[in-house]
Amino acid sequence: MRHSARGYKRTDRIADQIQRDLAMLLQREIKDPRVGMVTINSVNVSKDLAYADVYVTFMGIDGDQNVQESLEVLDHAAGFLRSLLAKSIQLRVMPRLRFHYDHTIVDGPRMSRLIDQAVAKDKARHGDDEPGESVGE
């Protein structure tokens, strides 16, 4: 695989371009209220350019049912969006778009809170003794 001067693979450059163009298209073209504001967190393009996995989050949409509904709207519009992308990105084959909900945005803060709670419990259990200190020094 040849790399450019910056070390970017071709699929990475294509993924970045799809992310930029798709963000604009979603804002302009998708008016379905079930989707709301969509943020594209990342795009991964397969080596053979067959698929582009698009990881998204939705602002103001809560609950698994609503997220699933929003993903279905995007999946339904995927062919339309792909055809618009093909007009702006010059590729022989435009990857098929597959939309996925990006759980890391939700799970990250939750995991951070759990870690903070565990650290606090550990400190409470062991007291505030500094490591290496012993009683009577």
Q: Would you say residue 59 lies in a domain?
A: yes
The confidence score (pLDDT) of residue 54 equals 97
Low-confidence stretches of the chain (pLDDT < 50) are 1-5, 133-137
In CATH, what number is assigned to the domain containing residue 15?
3.30.300.20
Contact criterion met (CB below 8 Å) for 30 and 60: no
Q: Would you say residue 74 lies in a domain?
A: yes
Q: Would you say residue 129 lies in a domain?
A: no
Q: Would you say residue 31 lies in a domain?
A: yes
**pTM above the 0.85 mark?**
no
Domain count, the chain: 1
Q: Would you say residue 3 lies in a domain?
A: no
The confidence score (pLDDT) of residue 4 equals 45
Which residue segment(s) compose the domain that 54 sits in?
10-104
Q: Would you say residue 130 lies in a domain?
A: no
Q: Would you say residue 34 lies in a domain?
A: yes
96-101 and 37-45 strand pairing: unpaired
Give pLDDT tens digits for 12-42: 999 999 999 999 999 999 888 888 889 999 9
